[in-house]
Amino acid sequence: MFCTVDTTIPTDKNGKLKTENPWKTSLACMANPAALLANLEGFKEKIDQEVVPANNFKAIRPQLADPNFTPAIIRTKSSCAGGLCDWVINITMYYDVVVTVEPKKAAVRAAQERLAAANAKKAEMDELVATLNAALAVLQAQFQKAMDEKNAAEAEAARCARRLDSAQRLVGALGSESERWNQAIVDLGEKLIVITGDVLLASAFVSYVGPFNKKFRDMITNVRFLDFFKKMKIPMSPDTNPLSILTDEATIAGWNN
């Protein structure tokens, strides 16, 4: 696998191992363990740099296909050889991934170049759009100012029209209310005459009649109180009712509910 990568390994012009004794070449590689370890550790970098020919990995495919070429089996013979076997399998897997991913990386680079060109064009268009937007903003501000003045004039006209309409309706309403107000004055005058008796009846009702039931309330109110009021000539409403003095229709509706 180090062919064409390690200069100490004899290869032909196609990068194939030239020696007839591979084991002898392997021993030469392992003569310097530190150099061998450095080669193993740096081989991934050489793959990333694309300096390892594809023939190197093509040449070891038959060996990888051998069912006995597994770290578990080879470790039974030599733990070091088992480690090398594990390294060969994994570095080949890494190479296969790189070979698969590299075209995608190239496609990504091409896409990035196209994106950069598109971004440059977009920046140019953005600058043009910004210039046009600035000019448009000036025109819109002028248009908005004119529209605001127009709306203000229309609003003022509508406000004046509403005020005129309200004034006209108020004048008409006041004219129709004159008769009702006159009648209300008459009614209030009549109520002032009988208010003494109505309030006195309501006060007596609260003070003396409240604890009784309806039968006794009606008897005390209609017989005792009203007879006394008539006898003493105390002015009161002809159809007076203590409840009309003490409460209102809304409260009575609440009681009913």
Q: What is the 3-state secondary structure (H, E, C) of 69-117?
A: CCHHHHHCCCHHHHHHHHHHHHHHHHHHHHHHHHHHHHHHHHHHHHHHH
Q: What is the pLDDT of residue 230?
A: 83
For position 135, what pLDDT does the model report? 93
How far apart CA 154 and CA 148 sit, in angstroms, is: 10
Of 113-117, 151-155, 169-173, the range with the lowest mean pLDDT is: 169-173
Distance CA 71, CA 144 (A): 82
Would you say residue 116 lies in a domain? no
Residue 95 included in any domain = no
Rounded to 5°, angle at Cα 214 from 211 and 216: 70
218 within a domain of the structure (yes/no): yes
Confidence (pLDDT) at 3? 45
57 assigned to some structural domain: no
Token code pair at residue 158: 């509508």
Cα pseudo-dihedral 167, 173, 176, 177, rounded to 10: -120
Q: Check pLDDT > 60 for residue 191.
A: yes
Residue 244 has pLDDT above 60, yes or no: yes
Q: Is residue 221 part of a domain?
A: yes
DSSP 152-195: HHHHHHHHHHHHHHHHHHHHHHHHHHHHHHHHHHHHHHHHHHHH
pLDDT tens, position by position, 109-129: 889 989 999 999 999 999 999
Per-residue pLDDT, averaged over 33-37, amounts to 75
In the predicted model, what is the mean pLDDT of the chain? 80
pLDDT at res. 55: 77
Measured in degrees and rounded to the nearest 5, phi and psi for residue 222 equal -80, -30
Domain of 210, in residue numbers: 180-256
pLDDT at 19: 56
Indicate the pLDDT class of residue 138, thresholds 50, 70 and 90: very high
| Number of structural domains in the chain | 1
Task: Please tell me the predicted confidence (pLDDT) of residue 31.
Answer: 66
Q: What is the pLDDT of residue 18?
A: 58
Say which residues have a Cβ less than 8 Å from residue 216's Cβ, sequence separation at least 6.
Answer: 209
Is residue 229 one of the residues assigned to a domain?
Answer: yes
Does 245 reside within a domain?
yes
More confident residue, 166 or 36: 166
Residue 13 lies in a domain: no
pLDDT digits (tens, 9 = 90+) for 40-58: 777 888 877 777 777 777 8
Residue 180 has pLDDT above 60, yes or no: yes
| pLDDT tens for each residue of 50-104 | 777 777 778 778 888 888 888 888 888 878 888 888 888 888 888 888 888 777 7
pLDDT surpassing 50 at residue 2: no
